[in-house]
Amino acid sequence: TQLLEQSPQFLSIQEGENLTVYCNSSSVFSSLQWYRQEPGEGPVLLVTVVTGGEVKKLKRLTFQFGDARKDSSLHITAAQPGDTGLYLCAGPTSGTYKYIFGTGTRLKVLA
Amino acid sequence: SQTIHQWPATLVQPVGSPLSLECTVEGTSNPNLYWYRQAAGRGLQLLFYSVGIGQISSEVPQNLSASRPQDRQFILSSKKLLLSDSGFYLCAWRAGGKHGYTFGSGTRLTVV
């Protein structure tokens, strides 16, 4: 069974600090996605990484896919209160139409 | 552009009552459709998915069911709700061959 474990589970930081969130699995994924979810709303897709070792940047957010395609990280530079939310990684299960989601990292950025 | 609509936004239902949540997608055809449930502040659990009209795959045995009567319509139902059915229900769609989902705004269901 493919699983995605995220760490840390909770993170509370001051505005301006940097942080990294991790998404790990013992299984290989053909791609991984990162989503951000705000309370009472559906998750919003931030990025998809496909190639091992790939790095994508979205303003202050940097996403990396591990060389073996078993893990991914999200790094936020100079966090802002607007970055607050639940960050979820997700990936397609082998040979199916299904995507599994990670356990989530709840980030709170204090002004 | 493609849009996804999910309703109602909130719902309070007594134990034993029926449930019907509806999700529709606009601006695309033959989407893959999904129902997820989310426990408070946690990850998403896949309940059902559909790759075409009348085609439903169930992931979790429970008292919920799903139907896809039209290409862009996905319905989540129950004949008798349990307290454990409370949660945040999310509908999502994905174009075949594409990465990632587009989610609806969710339904907060409280069974009392």
What's residue B41's pLDDT? Answer: 67
Nearest CA in chain B to A47: B100
Chain B residues touching residue A106 (CB < 8 angstroms): 41
Residues recorded for chain A: 111
What is the rounded distance in angstroms from the CA atom of residue B110 to the CA atom of residue B86? 5
pLDDT in tens, A12-60: 999 999 999 999 999 999 999 999 999 889 999 999 999 999 999 999 9
Distances (CA, A) of B29 to B6, B33, B72: 17, 11, 7
Mean predicted confidence (pLDDT) in B95-109: 88
What's residue B60's pLDDT? Answer: 81
Distance of CA B12 to the CA centre of its chain: 17
Chain B residues touching residue A98 (CB < 8 angstroms): 46, 49, 59
End-to-end CA distance of chain A: 41
* Alpha-helix runs per DSSP H in A1-111: none
Confidence of residue B62 (pLDDT cuts 50, 70, 90): confident
Confidence of residue B100 (pLDDT cuts 50, 70, 90): confident
